[in-house]
Amino acid sequence: MGKKRSGFAVALVFLALVQFSVSVPFIVLHGIAASCSEGKEANFTQLLANLSGSPGYCLEVGNGKRDSWFMPLMKQADIVCEKVKQMKELRQGYNIVGRSQGNLVARGLIEFCDGGPPVFNYISLAGPHAGISSVPLCGSGPLCEIADKLIKSEIYSDFIQDHLAPSGYLKIPNEIKKYLEKSKYLPKLNNEIPNQRNSTYKDRFTSLHNLVLVKFEDDKVIVPQDSSWFGFYPDGAFKPLLSANQTKLYTEDWIGLKTLDDAGKVKFVSVKGAHIIMANLDVVKYVVPYLQNKRTSQQKRFNRKTKETLLP
């Protein structure tokens, strides 16, 4: 009898530990010209899961590679929002790892997604957060031929904005007026439009526990590289390059970046390597720790739109 009671007590303790200390799951949002079904994306998600001990999911938008080029980013963010809300694994909150363009989908998920579960930690790998001043040519192949023709067209026209994803974050410094009026994604995401700044986007962004911004020192895709840290050129000129804390987005705190930074929640990380080519040691040092946070059954969960407590 004594052994049975002892065994039962051990089981209760084990269940209590499981209940009160559970790894937070994470999602991965890939970049342009990629898909979750490709080996490198699937392998990266599995690598993070193995190293962190947390369950991870690569979330796909449409057919992946093609839609990453030709589906507007707002639509991509809406699709991911609905997927996240339907995943029971994420209902108590989750972390995000974004890669390249996937970071702008990630931020749309954080800022625009009504009624979604909370995001705790957000790790951005080579995200064009402040925009890019030029769109790199796609390369070769039928899809790239179409993309390159669109890139060379009027980038701020409605047609291009609705049919070429990178057009939503192309920010040409000497065409700022046109950018603010015609670009359909980044000005809204960064709360850049005067008299249209939405405090809800800022509230949601500042609810993050940690924001890790990783810049790649040999990145030739994100121009300027410092866009991965929210740095960019001043309006009307291609120089000097402003650091994040010199931009109006930061000083006027349009999305809460300064608020997060003042609270010690922003990590500005620079690693060696080309665009999203990250050494495993750097992954272990700068990414994995932010995927190992635990959630407890004592944490309350709220509907992000109504602020009401969510049921399990």
Please state the three-class secondary structure of 230-263 as a single string. Answer: CCECCCCCCCCCECHHHCHHHHCCCCCHHHHHHC
pLDDT of 128 strictly over 90: yes
pLDDT tier for residue 265 given thresholds of 50, 70 and 90:
very high
Position 307 scores a pLDDT of 45
pLDDT of 183 strictly over 50: yes
Per-residue model confidence as pLDDT tens digits over 67-78: 999 999 999 999
Position 294 scores a pLDDT of 81
pLDDT of 13 strictly over 90: no
Q: Higher model confidence: residue 111 or residue 15?
A: 111
Q: Which of the residue ranges 17-31, 203-217, 283-297 would you say has the lowest mean pLDDT?
A: 17-31
pLDDT tier for residue 15 given thresholds of 50, 70 and 90:
very low
**Can you tell me the distance from the alpha carbon of 206 to that of 189, in angstroms, rounded to the nearest whole number?**
14
The helix (H) or strand (E) run that includes residue 267 is strand 266-271
Q: Is the peptide bond before 55 cis (omega within 30 degrees of 0)?
A: no
- Average pLDDT of the chain, as a whole number: 88
Position 140 scores a pLDDT of 64
| Percent of the chain residues past pLDDT 90, beyond the cut | 77
Position 152 scores a pLDDT of 65
Contact 164, 101 (CB under 8 A): no
The helix (H) or strand (E) run that includes residue 77 is helix 73-86
Position 277 scores a pLDDT of 96
Contact 293, 95 (CB under 8 A): yes
pTM of the model: 0.87
**Can you tell me the distance from the alpha carbon of 285 to that of 132, in angstroms, rounded to the nearest whole number?**
27
